[in-house]
Amino acid sequence: MPAPVLEPLPEIPPPTGVDEADAPQITIRQQDRETVEEARVNGILVWIKVTPRHGRPYYLIPSAGGNAYIRRDSLDSGLKPPMWVLFTW
């Protein structure tokens, strides 16, 4: 039985409606004893991640007014939806 003739697939076009300007722009700076990563979307600061040389990284999130920062250990919102087992077999 002869092998089937294979043809290359056509190129996949990029998704429509996705603007690269909406993607976050990450800036990474090395300071004395830490690495600072800033994420901005459309020029607005969204979060700052500080990774000390020794220790755990933490995030600084701008407050609603934008004049202060709230420190968080992760970007997890803390919202945990309930999950129940409905069926098992």
Distance between CA atoms of residues 51 and 68, nearest Å: 20
- Residues 50-84 have pLDDT tens digits of 999 998 999 999 988 878 998 888 887 777 788 88
Dihedral angle computed from the Cα positions of residues 74, 78, 82 and 88, in that order, rounded to the nearest 10 degrees: 10
Polymer length of the chain: 89
- Residues 9-63 have pLDDT tens digits of 889 887 776 666 667 899 999 988 899 999 998 888 899 999 999 989 999 999 8
Taking the model in full, what pTM does it have? Answer: 0.62
Tell me the domain boundaries of the chain. Answer: 22-72
For position 20, what pLDDT does the model report? Answer: 65
For position 77, what pLDDT does the model report? Answer: 74
CATH superfamily of this structure's domain 22-72: Protein of unknown function DUF2782 (2.20.130.30)
Cβ atoms within 10 Å, residue 36: 14
For position 48, what pLDDT does the model report? Answer: 92
Cα 21–Cα 23–Cα 29 angle in degrees, nearest 5: 105
